[in-house]
Amino acid sequence: MKNQKYVFVRVGFILSVFLLLLNVVSAQKKTAPPRPSQTSDTVRVVQIKKTNTFYYKTIDSVTQLQILSGNVEVWQGGTKFFADSVVYNEKTNYMQAYGNVHINESDSVNIYSQYLQYDGTKKLATFRDKVKLSDGNSTLYTDEMDYDMNGKVGSYKDGGRIESKQTTLYSKQGFYYADIKDVYFIGNVKMSDPEVALASDSLLYNTSSQVATFIAPTTIKSGNSIINTREGYYDLKFKKAKFGARSRMQDSTSTMIADDFAFDDKTGYGEAKGNVQYKDTAQGALLFSNRVFFNKTNKNFLATEKPVMVVVQNKDSIYIAADTIYSGLMKDLAQFKDGYIRAFDTVKGTKLLKVDSLISKDSSQQLQQDIAVTDSIAPVSVKDSVVAPVVTAKPILKKDSIVDNKPPPLKTKPTLVRSDSSNLLPKDSNAVAIADTVFQRKRSKAETDTLRFITAFRHVRIYNDSLQAVADSLFYSGVDSVFQLFHDPIAWSKGSQITGDTIYIFTENKKPKRMYVFENGMLVQSVKENAEFFNQIKGRTINGFFVDGELNYVNAKGTAESIYYAQDDDSAYIGMNRTTADMIDMFFKKRSPQKVKYTSSVKGTTYPIRQLPAEQKKLQNFKWLESKRPKNKLELFL
């Protein structure tokens, strides 16, 4: 028995020495010995892989801590933990790490901090002090972050920022989803980028695609533009965006609102859809449409789907409706070449529009020639033409100035005056003043570059309290404030209707000041609807002038013809005069002819009112087109 006891003691001693040597060797290899419980579940259990120093510390009968210090490396499944020192409770599977903490998760996410609390069972980590999370695309910085290893979701509550290449996003709270690279920012969200700045209450951002998705009211500054939206996205990589929920885009000179926006910041091209409203504050212009292609950089747009453009003024704005409206700055007008609009030929699916009417024979080039050579307001002698639309209080009547077949003498107007009347009108008349100050005023290049032009195509309709018009196509220049109407245009001013192959309407302060009709011009006035009486004047070209929106003077040239109805002092119609001449000048007061002047080759006949031949009451190609006249501005939106 005694020898047997000695054997057991000796064996125990040898075993103790072996275990001591084993611990020394393990410490020299800087690797902690594996625990039996640690090999049972490599997913949930923390494995100590490497450390400089390792020892156990017993707190109480149920708590024993493992203390690791110096180049500590700990694993749990595919997650690796690094730190200067670690305290690990094997029983609770709970760990605390201190100093230069680093977690690498599946080689895709790296998290850094100075302190870590980690629940190995729930796989929940709390990082504090100089927290940094990097996924290869961006880096998250914050002072404290919780991270769920199971769902791979990180969150912070006391402010954090993400830096992705040249983009920085900040928010009060945030959630980072490592699997899909999404960050959900909440509270006082701000984003800065060399080309884009953003502010919002909530934002979703993908660090891989660099796409910011808006889920709350958001303000975006891109270049000179400020965008307000609460729905959509912005691609920071490709500089493309799409917004919904009635977004607004504005800069120093314009504002656009629409149900949906899509645009490319690199090119400036974009599209707006759904009840689009555009306001050019610099030019005093408005646009309403259901679809608009635009360029933010060039300030031009192409509007389709019931567009209506408004040239704004205080009391009497001009409304323009058409199937298609295009508008841009005058400095870009050179893009109109070979009869095509090229401003939007980069937008996929946008059909190029022909504007050959703008460069046809009856366009501005011919107008300049006609005005320079034949315009009656040019400085000419009194014998050749009336030089101003001025009505004298008491019209001059000479015995030798009455043409043959004159109407019965009247106590009041109209008066027929021959072209040799020397004291008809003063030479410094309104017409010359208008030509010098309005139509021929030169503008600086800086001024013309910022002014806008408008082109409209198919079913053009214009409404203004002073003037209405319809045509197939239109061109308007902000430089000279001229509306050019092409292909069977019709214009109405109060009780007057004007037709011709092409009509130019000169405006001043948005009101009609002068009208020029060339080729087949005709002016018609309804004077007695029930009897179908119409004052008419016809010529190859017609020049008309307005005073306060009322037609004041008309000059017709080139085989000119006229029909007008004479009235007595009681406004009773007593006769009709039909006359032809090389040129006819007609003056109006209160929409009625007050004076008529014929020049060269005058032939005329006067008919008593009760003996009017039916075939003589209308000039050739007469048409009364009142049914086509826009009655109010609201019908242009239908």
Binned at pLDDT 50, 70 and 90, residue 199 comes out as: very high
Of 186-190, 262-266, 525-529, 563-567, give the lowest mean pLDDT range: 525-529
Distance CA 565, CA 614 (A): 14
Most confident of 16-30, 324-338, 614-628: 614-628
Distance CA 502, CA 365 (A): 13
Determine the Cα angle at 172 with ends 166 and 173, to 5°. 95
- In this predicted structure, what is the pLDDT of residue 442? 58
Please give the residue that has the higher pLDDT: either 612 or 367: 612
- In this predicted structure, what is the pLDDT of residue 437? 36
- In this predicted structure, what is the pLDDT of residue 348? 42
Distance CA 368, CA 516 (A): 11
Distance CA 526, CA 534 (A): 5
Cβ-contact 95, 79 below 8 angstroms: no
Please give the residue that has the higher pLDDT: either 465 or 341: 465
Would strands 415-418 and 592-599 be described as parallel, antiparallel, or unpaired? parallel
- Count CA within 13 A, CB hemisphere, residue 191: 31
- In this predicted structure, what is the pLDDT of residue 275? 94
For domain 135-245, give the fold. Answer: lipopolysaccharide transport protein A fold (2.60.450)
| pLDDT higher than threshold 90 for residue 469 | yes
Cβ-contact 220, 239 below 8 angstroms: no
| pLDDT higher than threshold 90 for residue 589 | no
Of 67-71, 131-135, 366-370, give the lowest mean pLDDT range: 366-370
- In this predicted structure, what is the pLDDT of residue 491? 92
- In this predicted structure, what is the pLDDT of residue 344? 53
| pLDDT higher than threshold 60 for residue 390 | no
Return the biggest CA–CA distance within the chain. Answer: 171
For domain 39-134, give the fold. Answer: lipopolysaccharide transport protein A fold (2.60.450)
Instruction: Give me the amino acid identity at 115.
Output: Y
Of 154-158, 397-401, 517-521, give the lowest mean pLDDT range: 397-401
pLDDT digits (tens, 9 = 90+) for 498-545: 999 999 988 877 677 888 998 889 999 888 666 678 888 999 999 988
SS3 8: helix
pTM metric for this prediction: 0.70
Most confident of 335-344, 350-359, 426-435, 461-470: 461-470
pLDDT digits (tens, 9 = 90+) for 101-130: 999 987 778 999 999 999 988 999 999 999
pLDDT digits (tens, 9 = 90+) for 268-307: 899 999 999 999 887 778 999 999 999 888 888 999 999 9
Question: Which structure tokens are listed for 385?
Answer: 């033409």
Backbone angles phi, psi at 403, to 5 degrees: -75, 165
- In this predicted structure, what is the pLDDT of residue 359? 33
What average pLDDT is seen over the chain?
Answer: 76
Distance CA 94, CA 128 (A): 16
| pLDDT higher than threshold 90 for residue 175 | yes
Cβ-contact 263, 317 below 8 angstroms: no
Of 299-308, 404-413, 588-597, give the lowest mean pLDDT range: 404-413
- In this predicted structure, what is the pLDDT of residue 495? 80
The pLDDT of 424-430, averaged and rounded, is 34
| pLDDT higher than threshold 90 for residue 87 | yes
| pLDDT higher than threshold 70 for residue 217 | yes
Q: 356: which residues sit within 8 A by CB, 6+ positions away? A: 339
Q: 479 in the Ramachandran plot: left (φ > 0), alpha (ψ -120 to 50) or beta?
A: alpha
- In this predicted structure, what is the pLDDT of residue 336? 62
Binned at pLDDT 50, 70 and 90, residue 548 comes out as: confident
Same fold for the pair 39-134 and 135-245: yes
Binned at pLDDT 50, 70 and 90, residue 384 comes out as: very low
Share of the chain above pLDDT 90, in %: 34
Strand partners of residue 311: 285, 318
Residues in the chain: 638
Question: Which structure tokens are listed for 601?
Answer: 């080759």
- CA–CA distances in Å: residue 226 to residues 57, 216, 218, 221, 347: 62, 16, 10, 4, 23
Domain ranges of the chain: 39-134, 135-245, 386-433+488-632
